[in-house]
Amino acid sequence: MSLRLLRVLPLAAMLAHPLHAASALQEWESVLDEARGQTVYWHAWAGDTRINDYLDWVKRRVRDEHEVELVHVKIDDTGSAVSRVLAERSAGNHDDGSVDLVWLNGENFAAMKENDLLYGPFAEQLPNFSLTHPEHNPEVVTDFTLPTEGYESPWGKAQITFYYDAEALDEEPPRNMAQLLAWAEINPGRFTYPRIPDFLGSTFLKQALIALADDTDVLYEPVVQSDFEAVTAPLWEYLDALHPHLWRRGRQFPANGPELRRLMGDGELSLAFTFNPAEPAAAVADFELPESTRSYVLEGGTLGNVHFVAIPFNSPRRAGAMVVANFLLSPEAQARKQDLAVWGDPTVLDVTRLDAETRSLFEQESDNPALLPPEALAETLPEPHPSWMTALQDAWQARYVGR
């Protein structure tokens, strides 16, 4: 069966009608049959050994369970995958693309959608997608304010979480952006953020902008509809004051989150942040961070989002890509991903609506002092419109590169 002919119906609606349920199951069996023997090229960030090890496990599982070969094409910038698909489209390659699956969200999803580079809708065809219960969890169908419309499948969550070495601090850690500046002034060189355009570094800019802007409503509309210079003026004033007190006086920045974590482990920093709330606890368990590490979120909440996978429009192995996306949503894969000993990336499944036996897969040990309780992450700030991230990155580069 051609994937172009697959019907797109919400799984809950299909299961409400026996004929729809039978049809959906038959169509999924056709996908599984077509996927068997395919090699899927997944372009995914490769900057963390825990993530790479997890993807190696996914490779083995989809090979054993579905006879699908998964190749992790390791990239350091999702934009490179987007550029490749765009170049193939420009060259007239509409049927034999080299990218079958992309780990993306935010501005990269917006760019692919705007340029008609995505295959779909497909997410609601995945049997495991219903376990996210999107009707109760709109974040799994919204990406940086944009409806995903089935062109992405969720597979993990993220939220800015600060962490510090309690034995290295003589005072309470800063709880908001104003306190962070004051703290950096009396603790010079003990904090920094990743170099832009790294995703984590760019997220720090957005977190600061939300805290400092006079009107945050404009951040949730396309940037062209606002006075960018006026809206961001408080951010640049803040960073100008902050940079001289950063690690290496703000003249050099770590490349990414893992390097930030290494600086913490080496004792060069006393305060850092991550986009994975469980990362500090996982690093403590791996002896990368001291046992005195503690985590917290800022007053008023921190930015959070869901990360997704998408299938390019010209992938010749869409069936295999869908099988991989569905496996990533399985309780087995989601529970393993959330395991602190593996990765610690939060699940997108609605665990409260799983049966008791399946819920037990997601139980985490609570004696790790660096692990935040779920209720601590309850106040999540929504991501601004994706156009703001690109504009902030460009403005930061123009203002600070070369200084």
Which phi and psi (to 5°) does residue 356 adopt? -60, -40
Whole-number Å distance between alpha carbons of 48 and 104: 16
> Can you tell me the mean pLDDT for 303-311?
96
Q: Helices (H) and strands (E) in the chain — how many of each?
A: 14, 11
Q: Worst-scoring range by mean pLDDT, 14-18, 168-172, 322-326?
A: 14-18
The residue whose two tokens read 């802007």 is 213
Q: What is the CA radius of gyration of the chain?
A: 22
**Residue 183: closest CA among 160, 159, 162:** 162
* Residue carrying the six token digits 């692990």: 371
DSSP string, 203-258: HHHHHHHHHH-S--GGGGS-GGGS-HHHHHHHHHHHHHHHGGGSGGGGSS--SSHH
Q: Is the pLDDT of residue 317 over 60?
A: yes
Inter-residue contact 161 to 297 (CB < 8 Å): yes
Rounded to whole angstroms, how far apart are CA atoms 362 and 366? 12
According to DSSP, residue 277 is labeled T
Owner of token pair 């665990």: 351
Q: Structural domain boundaries of the chain?
A: 3-156+307-369, 159-304+379-400
Please report the pLDDT score of residue 4 as a whole number.
33
CATH architecture of the region 159-304+379-400: 3-Layer(aba) Sandwich (3.40)
Question: Residue 13's pLDDT is what?
Answer: 42
Q: How confident is the model at residue 45 (pLDDT cuts 50, 70, 90)?
A: very high
* Residue 199: HSE in the Cβ half-sphere, 13 Å Cα cutoff: 26
H-helix or E-strand containing 70? strand 69-75
User: Which of 163, 174, 294 is CA-nearest to residue 242?
Assistant: 174
Strand (E) or helix (H) holding 296:
strand 293-296
pLDDT tier at 108, thresholds 50, 70, 90: very high
Q: Where does residue 64 fall: left (phi above 0), alpha (psi -120 to 50 degrees), or beta otherwise?
A: alpha
Q: 159-304+379-400: same fold as 3-156+307-369?
A: yes
Q: Which CATH number fits domain 3-156+307-369: 3.20.20.80, 3.40.190.10, 3.40.50.300, 1.10.1040.10?
A: 3.40.190.10
Cα–Cα distance for residue pair 108/238, rounded to 1 Å: 28
Q: Look up the pTM and report it.
A: 0.88
Count, residues in the chain: 403
The angle at the Cα of 190, spanning 185 to 196, to the nearest 5 degrees, equals 95
- DSSP calls for 260-299: HHHHHHTTS-SEEEESSTTHHHHHHHTTSS-TTEEEE--T
Confidence band of 365 (pLDDT split at 50, 70, 90): low
Please give the mean pLDDT across all residues of the chain: 92
Contact 131, 274 (CB under 8 A): no
Rounded to an integer, the average pLDDT of 118-124 is 97
Mean pLDDT check: name the lowest of 7-21, 95-109, 241-255: 7-21
pLDDT score, position 18: 52
